[in-house]
Chain A
């Protein structure tokens, strides 16, 4: 096997970490964002205030900083680190940071989508004797999904590339792997990481285009 093939193999291996982080972040951030959005729309003003402040802090500080704080913060404050030792601990900490960060961004997209559904839809459900849950799941939700697909696609594409930030706590992602080669004077592996991201994002773009088409049947 030539050297190039070995390097491609190692880049692919490292990209798996980006993929894991991507998948796990979505798994937690998508539902968590909904909880946060309900909090930011709560009729109970103190809760709304707390949630909005939290969203402001998370959206107002760099994700890289949040990863560092979450990973190193507990230890620096004198607590025992909650993270398992070694690579898995670093990945878990990154997932936690990413999930919280992306949940806050998603929550604002959800909120926009929910508030854009005309009030008459809820009222029509109410006068037909539906419960709040029935109105949300049977009437509002699909209309919200249809509205938020384009901004969600945007945000999720950003997530693909943000996964590299996890290397700030020594998660060995594809960029970090490629940098090791450039440190040895071999620059093409770093440039070729773009191919991985482009292929991944290309697939996501197709997926979102397909989803939007699927929901084209109503207006």
Chain B
């Protein structure tokens, strides 16, 4: 059974249809790359999955549980959505680290706040907080940032900030980790360090959805590719297959513009 089932997602802003009948599935441990030109709806799709935008139609199901359905208003309350968001993690194009917190605090903050909702929080407070800290340090180490724990975001390079953001998202153990053009705001020489992290995550079978313009990366690292254009899924399939032998004319044109 697929871990994530997205069914018939549609979204309009005013009279502009941004997404039309988007459906796809994602198995556990799979990495899906979403490609397409600017304005094709990739980012909006990712934002719908993370409930930053509310889709007009369709449903989102994770591990058999329908998290959100346009047909069922009970799934749409603010509080219901807050909890369901935690199935997904999102890494933003512009990192969006909290500037007043150090790298370590950025990674720990959400976990600390969520821990307060645990019934055993009062009894085991010390242990819970210590565990959160240990885990955050491990994640930063995994990102190669052990020596940057105490640095504030403005003291870090873009690539370092994005790696902190990835650690921050991983800290909550999302089922599916989403990346919205994670290297687009970075200087070319810094994209490598972020892509390396993504590659490692894929090797460790992290379930991921990556919106990207890095075609070579998508081909080599993703298991599957979804090509979007004009708010619809034009083609999806095995990553190497789609890039090397696109079936649709539109996909071919798009890849050609990347010199592929």
Contacts and interface: CB of A to CB of B under 8 A. Distances in A.
Interface residues of A, number: 22
B248 to A, nearest CB: 32
Nearest to B116: A134
B110 interface: yes
A85 to B, nearest CB: 49
A143 B153 CA distance: 13
Contacts of B94: 118, 120
A128 B168 contact: yes
B192 interface: no
Interface residues of B, number: 28
A138 interface: yes
Interface string B70-93: 000000001000110110111010
B258 to A, nearest CB: 27
Contacts of A131: 82
A123 B96 contact: yes
B44 interface: no
A129 B96 contact: no
Nearest to A140: B98
Contacts of B85: 126-127, 129
B79 to A, nearest CB: 8
Given A129-B83, A142-B100, A219 B92 contact: no
B156 to A, nearest CB: 11
B105 to A, nearest CB: 10
Interface in A119-149: 120-121, 123-132, 134, 138-139, 142-143, 146
A121 B90 CA distance: 13
A146 B90 CA distance: 27
Contact of B86 (A129, A143, A146, A219): A129
B1 interface: no
B52 interface: yes
Contacts of B98: 121, 124, 139
A144 to B, nearest CB: 11
Nearest to B47: A123
Contacts of A128: 109-110, 168-169, 172
B256 interface: no
Interface of B: 50-52, 78, 82-83, 85-86, 88-90, 92, 94, 96-100, 109-110, 113-114, 152-154, 168-169, 172
Interface of A: 118, 120-121, 123-132, 134, 138-139, 142-143, 146, 217-219
Given A127-B50, A129-B83, 16 more contacts: A120-B94, A124-B97, A124-B98, A127-B85, A127-B90, A127-B169, A128-B109, A128-B169, A129-B85, A129-B86, A129-B110, A138-B109, A139-B98, A143-B100, A219-B152, A219-B153
**Ranked 3 nearest A-B pairs via Cβ:** A128-B110, A120-B96, A124-B96
21 contacts: A118-B94, A120-B94, A120-B96, A121-B98, A124-B92, A125-B110, A126-B85, A127-B85, A128-B109, A128-B110, A128-B168, A128-B172, A129-B85, A129-B86, A132-B78, A134-B113, A138-B113, A142-B100, A146-B100, A219-B99, A219-B153
